[in-house]
Structure 1
Amino acid sequence: MSRVRTRPTRDDTREKLFEAAARVCEEQGIGGASIEDIAAAAGFTRGAFYSNFKSKDELVIAMMEEHVEQSIRRMHELLAEHKTLPDFINALRNMDRSKQDPLGRSPLLHMEMILFVARAEKRRPELAKRLRARRKLIADIVETTAKNSGKNGILNPAWVGAVVLALEDGFRLHRLIDPETPADSFLRAIADLQRAIGIPSS
């Protein structure tokens, strides 16, 4: 008779460490969070941490990589179902945020990680790589939805992608500073841009 597996898999362990790191880093800041605190919050020993990551830096980079990969996958799935820009924006507005990864759920943690990576020159290429991936994702969405809306060729998708990404991060920061900033500010701004370039809202 075969034994039932009771030990967590490597993926399970990494996911628990990501969730624990998100909680600890949000409370203490990435600089103040220790490996011991993160491991304890996940219910693991320090040794379990080091069996998955060589350092806190490696954990942070892995969390960012997971966030970007999940975002790309989720947005492409959404785009496959909602092919025009108005439909896509409405789908984004109604998306279940509780299913997002820790970075997607927490604007504070997102900004904390950007600052943590940007402060050290050796980490910046990793951050830049993820930034370019996010920018390309948005450019692909702009290009596809514009084409499906009959507006192909009127936009520079790469530039619009950069503008949209800057808007997203900007409104995320504004909402952290001023809670009265409307939660849907980013999507409202995108809808305004949509109208400005002549794409109908329905």
Structure 2
Amino acid sequence: MSTPDAVPGRETRPPRRRVHTRARLLESAERVIVEHGYAQTTIEDLCAAAGYTRGAFYSNFRGKDDLVLALFDRHSADRLDQLERLLDGPGAVSAEGVARALLEVDALERNWILLFLEFRIHAARDARLGAKLDEHDRTVRDALAELLQRCCPGVARGVAPVGGVAATLLAIREGILARTAGEGPGAREALEAAVATLSAILPELGIAPTPAAPEPESAAPEPES
């Protein structure tokens, strides 16, 4: 029996049930794999947490690597949404506020950083997976560049192309997160030094307003003779 041709211009969408299954697998995986790490989590662990069979898993993801990349895509989108709300919100945002939004994470996100570092090392030993992670990085870079152009008109008049600015900010973020993944005074000192340095650089890039120079104090009037 032949199937009807696809209607031109109409998108082919996965069935709603499959979309729900994929979303549930991602939500469960986020809890399990972020807590236990990439290497310690098995496909069976992910299926058990979501309440699905291996068949359901493999109908949505090619493997554990594919699922982790999907988690990274979703997490990056959430972080960009947070940054957009900060940049596009009411009132002026300080350079330090932007720097902290880029570099600082709370305790709940610390395991995310450990997972990302673990997965990046894993991908460095696998050329095919490394290429997929590079594609993820380019997508995030382009999304950040588009966000900066939309929310920070001054970035177009900055000292560097916006794509290069976005790539550099992401590289700085990743380096600082790696340095501060552990807790301790050294990690805090490194973070504060990076925030201070980036706060001074961001206005030059057109991303945050240049702090206003303090007005000179007026001289006291001379007493009348």
Other-structure match for 1:38: 46
For normalisation by structure 1, the TM-score amounts to: 0.69
1:200 lines up with 2:205 in the alignment: no
Structure (1 or 2) with the greater helix fraction: 1
In the alignment, what sits opposite 2:174? 169
Partner of 2:26: 18
Looking at structure 2, the residues matched to 133 and 33 of structure 1 have their Cα atoms a distance apart, in angstroms, of 26
Among all aligned residue pairs of Structure 1 and Structure 2, give the percentage whose two residues are the same amino acid.
Answer: 26
Deviation at 1:165, TM superposition (A): 0.9
The CA distance in 2 between the partners of 1:103 and 1:13, in whole Å, is: 25
CA contact (8 A) 2:88 2:151 kept: no
Distance 1:148 1:81, change over 3 A: farther
Structure 2 counterparts to residues 82-101 of structure 1, below 5 A: 86=94, 89=98, 92=101
Which 5+ residue runs of structure 1 have no aligned equivalent?
Answer: 1-7
Q: Which moves more between the two structures, 34-43 or 56-65? A: 56-65
1:156-181 C-alpha deviation (Å, 9 max, x unpaired): 32222222111111111111134432
SS of residue in 2 equivalent to 1:106: helix
Runs of at least 5 residues in structure 2 that lack an aligned partner in the other structure: 1-15, 213-225
Q: Secondary structure at the match of 2:178?
A: helix
Greater mean deviation of Cα atoms: 103-112 or 162-171: 103-112
| Structure 1 CA distance for aligned equivalents of residues 28 and 116 of structure 2 | 15
What is the TM-score with the length of structure 2 in the denominator?
Answer: 0.63
Superposition pairs for residues 27-106 of structure 1, below 5 Å?
A: 27-76=35-84, 78-81=86-89, 86=94, 89=98, 92=101, 106=112
Deviations 1:108-142 (A, max 9, x none): 12222322333211112211111112222333344
